[in-house]
Structure 1
Amino acid sequence: MQWSSLPEDLVEDILSRVSATPLVRLRETSKQWNAILKSGSFAMMHAAHAPKEESLMITLIDHRVCLEKINLHDPSVKVAPHALYLKDPLSDSSKEVDIRKVFHCHGLLLCSTKDKRLVVWNPCSGETKWVKPRDTYKKSDYYALGYDNKSSSKQYKILRMDRTDLPLNNVYEVYDFTTNLWRVLGVATDWFLAKYRGGISVKGNTYWVATQAVEKPNHDFILSFDFSTEMFQSLSLPYPFRYGISALSVVREEQLCLLGAHPDIYFWNGGIPLSCLQVWVITSTGSWNKSQAVYNTRRYPSSKGMSFLADEQNKVVVFLNTNNTLHVMRQNKHILEKHLGGNSSLLLNYVPSLAQIQHATLPGGRKRKAPST
């Protein structure tokens, strides 16, 4: 029996059980398959049925998004970088965009460019959406991509915070994909985000390590933004918490975790000083569990600008410090220490997906034209 003779709903069901990367290659083989793979209903079906692809790591090296693959089961531990290509729509040539910051949410990347533009990008499918500002974007802006997790389908939104120095005046606004418009929500004056702090997306919401500016000046805490209610709130820390917050990450794309460490806390093991890195994971009830501790036999690097990933199954912590050195540690052993080259600013989990970038629609089902870049 040929594929063309199969009912379309059966074809959709079969394709929905294939991982994202090979599916993208099939788009060019059939107009029917291409139409199916581009539909929003198929994207939802695929998210529910497809096997999970191997998680990769995203780094940003010399303004290019790269994929780093680490095999933790191989004693040699191989790192294979692959640069992703994002064409500049303002160029007639094949010129690439210089990317300054990257935020990851559900297979989509929100990228701010060196020349102060903003784009949502699915590297797996190649789909992009360039987002025009309400006024102008600034180098000091913070961005986050999330979605309304109370909706039956993912309604994506972008949060922009216009960061200003003293006097503190953080104007925040939301871009709604259903209207292609920005809405100013308010002004925050009691906390700020340091330049080196990045946000983490967990189930559609975003979390940062923020610093209080009023009640307890210079005191760090966890700040979250709920894209469903469009409100900020603070998150309680593990109790008793004896570590400074170095960075936030996500476990299995569904649990927030934090890395607590202090460069001056040491333990001694047979005369060898060990600095402690403690990973905490939040539970569904909002409480925190100690996940794993890693003891570093070397001087702990500065936590400013640090990012990390935690693998609970293999009891491994991967972190990237400010001198662009990637560390892979299991308990008190360095499995890998590798300088990535160039300038890097982040380390994120990435799983290829067919997540679609939503476009605004006009009456009659026509797509609303996005503002030009």
Structure 2
Amino acid sequence: MRSTCKKWYVLTKDQRFAKKRGKEFLMLMNRRVYLIGVNLHNNIDLSIKCRGRLISRDETAQGFYVSQVFHCNGLLLSVSGKTIDDTRLVVCNPYGVKPKWINPKDNYGRLDIFSLGFDKLCGSYKILRIYDFDNKLQIYDLSSNSWMIPRDTLGRDIEYMQNGVSSKENTYWCARDKQSQYCFLFCFDFTRERFGPRLPLPFNGAYVSLSAVKEEQLAVLFQPSDKSEIEIWVTNKIEPEEVSWSVFLKVEMKLRVLSWNFLIDKEKKFAVVFDKDKAKGFKTNYDIAYVIGENGYYRRVDLRESPNKPLCRIVSCYVPSCVQIE
């Protein structure tokens, strides 16, 4: 893989470089993957700059769109295709050379859920696939190039799952229970090849959003239906079977945020919540962002006009690595 931006293409093994670039994020926009830099200067000037767009050297991948992308340890798992029904998996390191296409055991479906993690026991990266209406499971081992069916199962009592995020080489999801309609957190442990128990969120509610903080912590956003405020909490401890939370920000906001797509900067104590503005007409949507910070601070930023296009989605914080896939 390479990029249209030289900063994206330069390969480095210096870990200090990786730490310095910790304010960069992967964004899925218009079915393409971009690297963006986010910074807030003096709590006034929000800077969101595109560092580069990920494109493929592989001629067979030209013209592909990306419907899902998952990040783990600098590796990207992309769900790509030329049409909605043409679904293919590819794993790559954007700083590496050759992507790895994953041959399916059977045809992928457009509603399949994928995630990427690391088995610490056998030292191998693995892909989890959740598919069909009864939540069947498959695991692909990138070392042995083989699919297998794990012993564990995912129950049918889950009504809705958000996009998963990676933390400590496992995958976490926010999901909603069919009967109670309340959300909870749960994890797939790639070493044990099984799901952990349902973990509590720091509040009761039906609408929450999950984000990763440098793959070491999780952040969750909540907007109560009976209050004009946004709450963001971060994990103090996160393991497949245990979690604890502390409040990060609480801000009064009269507007309702519909996208549930956000990122945070722990050092500067602010968050950016991405949304769409339809106030100027149904046919034209505008990408906007709300910057929220301490002491009730929040400000709206107009990003760009994007008629009839899906909302930009932040995938995760991105830190380069030297991990290679053979």
The TM-score, its normalising length taken from structure 2, stands at 0.80
Could you tell me which amino acid in structure 2 is paired with residue 343 of structure 1?
P
Would you say the 8 A contact 2:182–2:205 is kept in 1?
no
Which of the residues 148, 155, 169 maps onto 1:189? Answer: 155
Which of the residues 265, 270, 290 maps onto 2:246? Answer: 290
| Cα displacement (A) at 1:345 | 4.8
Would you say the 8 A contact 1:322–1:345 is kept in 2?
no
| Cα displacement (A) at 1:177 | 0.9
> Does 2:99 match 1:128?
yes
| Cα displacement (A) at 1:299 | 1.1
Which of the residues 87, 99, 102 maps onto 2:56? Answer: 87
Deviations 1:102-133 (A, max 9, x none): 11111111110143011112122243111011
Which of the residues 163, 179, 200 maps onto 1:198? Answer: 163
Would you say the 8 A contact 1:84–1:123 is kept in 2?
no
Deviations 1:336-359 (A, max 9, x none): 5233544235212111222212x3
Which of the residues 80, 84, 101 maps onto 2:68? Answer: 101
* Distance in 1, Cα, partners of 2:76 & 2:29: 15
Q: 1:163 to 1:318 in 2, by over 3 A?
A: farther
| Cα displacement (A) at 1:193 | 5.9
> Does 2:237 match 1:237?
no
SS at match of 2:224: strand
Deviations 1:21-43 (A, max 9, x none): 989647xxxxxxxxxx8xxxxx7
Q: Which has the higher strand share?
A: 2
Match of 2:20 in 1: 53
Which of the residues 73, 80, 83 maps onto 1:113? Answer: 80
Q: Which has the higher helix share?
A: 1
Match of 1:15 in 2: none
Q: How many residues align?
A: 298
The TM-score, its normalising length taken from structure 1, stands at 0.71
| Cα displacement (A) at 1:262 | 1.6
Identical amino acids, percent of aligned pairs: 27
**Structure 1 unaligned spans of 5+:** 1-20, 27-36, 38-42, 267-274, 360-373
Q: 1:284 to 1:276 in 2, by over 3 A?
A: closer
Deviations 1:206-234 (A, max 9, x none): 00012234xx4433211210000000123
Match of 1:170 in 2: 135
Which of the residues 307, 312, 334 maps onto 2:298? Answer: 334
* Distance in 2, Cα, partners of 1:160 & 1:184: 10
| Cα displacement (A) at 1:204 | 0.7
| Cα displacement (A) at 1:300 | 2.3
Q: 1:25 to 1:200 in 2, by over 3 A?
A: closer
| Cα displacement (A) at 1:50 | 6.2
Q: 1:163 to 1:314 in 2, by over 3 A?
A: farther
**Which stretch has the larger CA shift, 243-252 or 223-232?**
243-252
Would you say the 8 A contact 1:281–1:290 is kept in 2?
yes
Could you tell me which amino acid in structure 2 is paired with residue 206 of structure 1?
T
Match of 1:78 in 2: 47
Which of the residues 275, 291, 314 maps onto 2:268? Answer: 314
| Cα displacement (A) at 1:96 | 4.1
**Which stretch has the larger CA shift, 131-140 or 113-122?**
113-122
Deviations 1:182-216 (A, max 9, x none): 11225433333637x10010011000012234xx4
* Distance in 1, Cα, partners of 2:68 & 2:292: 26
Q: 1:263 to 1:69 in 2, by over 3 A?
A: farther
Would you say the 8 A contact 1:87–1:97 is kept in 2?
no
Q: 1:78 to 1:89 in 2, by over 3 A?
A: same
Match of 1:160 in 2: 129
* Distance in 2, Cα, partners of 1:238 & 1:318: 21
Would you say the 8 A contact 1:190–1:212 is kept in 2?
no
